[in-house]
């Protein structure tokens, strides 16, 4: 039986199968797939092959490529691909800076790069250090690729300014770095706060940023897990992009999930970009919806179940 901690091949993300076929049984290593193996944990020079759906951010993408090259055995094949406008146009040059010889093709608006791991790749340590966990100004732990990793998010700041002292048991859905959670836990009346995020890197950063015994952390998809019924409150700044594309249905799903988790009389506090159509789904699921703020392109609502 194959040891899952020492996989023979890996796949990062969800590359289109018509463009790149991972090896049979390849182990998922994306931080956006709950339960996936950590790419950082792979043993150096242990992989026989890898297929990478490269992320769009430059620092994050170079980090993923460098970690993958470190994990591959010398001469092992690597396929990396991305949409041209989402970093694909830079993939070949980035791989070449690591010392790779690259064959590049274009199909279905994607740039697909085939290469093998050089005997002695260049610059891996620097790229891994630049893309790894780090502290930004103010001491907040963060990592490239996480939502608002390098700056304060104005929507979250607006919501924090509007929040009352909450009490009882609650959840921060899509917790990110834990900025909202830290504000919520400033209230001594909060008994427990569950922080949930799809991104493993965000959950790991939030663990370091929210040092409070009342906090619990979940690497999970908000839309399906975890089971936290009977909550007194939910706070959230829901995402509205899925695989890089705006998706209003994602935020609407967060609203429905918040309704499921709240007890009767429980409250949802949320912030969203002003243009997003969330009013109808809020009105459908909550008995009272009250605007609580508007500014800098954002809107805030309190919704009572």
Concatenate the DSSP letters of all residues of 102-118 into one string: -EEEEETTEEEEEEE--
Query: Residue 291 corresponds to which tokens in the numbers above?
Result: 């605007």
CA–CA distance, 58 with 55 (Å, rounded to integer):
8
Query: Computed from CA positions of residues 156, 160, 164, 168, in that sequence, does the dihedral angle turn out positive or negative?
Result: positive
Summary mean pLDDT of the chain: 94
CA distances from 17 to 47, 59, 65, 159 (A): 20, 25, 19, 41
- pLDDT, average across residues 277-294: 93
How does residue 137 score in pLDDT terms, banded at 50, 70 and 90?
A: confident
CA–CA distance, 118 with 107 (Å, rounded to integer):
26
**Does residue 180 carry a pLDDT above 90?**
yes
> Which tens digit of pLDDT belongs to each residue from 227-278?
898 999 999 999 875 555 556 788 899 999 999 999 999 999 999 988 888 9
Cβ–Cβ under 8 Å, residues 218 and 253? no
Provide the pLDDT for residue 242: 57
Nearest residue to 167 via CA among 267, 92, 254: 267
Provide the pLDDT for residue 1: 38
Nearest residue to 77 via CA among 6, 4, 26, 152: 26
CA 212 to chain centre: 22
100-126 burial, b for 16+ CB within 10 Å, e for fewer?
A: bebebeeeeebbbbbbbbbeebeebee
- pLDDT, average across residues 130-147: 94
Query: Residue 39 corresponds to which tokens in the numbers above?
Result: 């790419």
* 83 beta partners: 110
Query: Residue 120 corresponds to which tokens in the numbers above?
Result: 């002695």
Query: Given the structure tokens 């039986």, which residue do they identify?
Result: 1
> Which tens digit of pLDDT belongs to each residue from 26-85?
999 999 999 999 999 999 999 999 999 999 999 999 999 999 999 999 999 999 999 999
**% of the chain at pLDDT higher than 70:** 96
Query: Given the structure tokens 């940023």, which residue do they identify?
Result: 209
Nearest residue to 86 via CA among 56, 62, 58, 61: 56
CA–CA distance, 71 with 45 (Å, rounded to integer):
5
Cβ–Cβ under 8 Å, residues 263 and 297? no
Helix (H) or strand (E) run with residue 191 in it: strand 190-197
Contacts of 262 (CB under 8 A, 6+ apart): 230, 231, 232, 233, 234, 268, 305
Cβ–Cβ under 8 Å, residues 130 and 63? yes
Please state the φ and ψ torsions of residue 181, each to the nearest 5 degrees: -60, -40
**Does residue 2 carry a pLDDT above 60?**
no
Query: Residue 224 corresponds to which tokens in the numbers above?
Result: 């399906």
Judging by beta carbons within 10 Å of its beta carbon (0-12, 13-18, 19+), is residue 129 exposed, middle or buried? exposed
CA–CA distance, 166 with 178 (Å, rounded to integer):
16
């Amino acid at each position: 039986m194959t040891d899952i901690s020492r996989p023979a091949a890996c796949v990062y993300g969800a590359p289109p199968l018509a463009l790149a076929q991972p090896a049979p049984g390849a182990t998922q290593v994306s931080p956006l797939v709950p339960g996936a193996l950590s790419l950082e944990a792979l043993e150096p020079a242990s992989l026989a092959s890898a297929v990478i759906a490269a992320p769009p951010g430059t620092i994050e993408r170079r980090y993923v490529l460098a970690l993958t090259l470190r994990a591959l055995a010398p001469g092992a094949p690597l396929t990396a691909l991305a949409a041209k406008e989402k970093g694909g146009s830079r993939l070949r040059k980035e791989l070449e800076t690591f010392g790779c010889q690259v064959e590049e093709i274009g199909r279905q608006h994607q740039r697909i790069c085939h290469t093998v791991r050089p005997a002695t790749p260049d610059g891996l340590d620097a790229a891994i250090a630049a893309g790894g966990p780090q502290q930004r100004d103010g001491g907040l732990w963060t990592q490239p690729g996480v939502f608002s990793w390098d700056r304060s998010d104005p929507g979250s700041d607006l919501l924090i300014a509007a929040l009352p002292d909450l009490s009882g048991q609650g959840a921060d859905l899509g917790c990110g770095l834990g900025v909202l959670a830290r504000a919520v836990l400033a209230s001594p009346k909060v008994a427990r706060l569950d922080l949930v995020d799809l991104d493993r890197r965000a959950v790991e950063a939030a663990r370091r940023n929210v040092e409070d015994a009342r906090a619990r952390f979940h690497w999970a998809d908000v839309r399906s897990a975890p089971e936290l019924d009977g909550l007194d409150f939910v706070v959230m700044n829901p995402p509205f992009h899925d695989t890089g594309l705006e998706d209003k249905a994602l935020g609407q799903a967060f609203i429905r999930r918040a309704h499921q988790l709240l007890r009767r009389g429980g409250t949802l506090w949320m912030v969203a970009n002003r243009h997003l159509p969330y009013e109808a789904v809020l009105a459908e699921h909550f008995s009272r919806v009250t605007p609580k703020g508007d500014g800098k392109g954002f809107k805030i609502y309190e919704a009572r179940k």
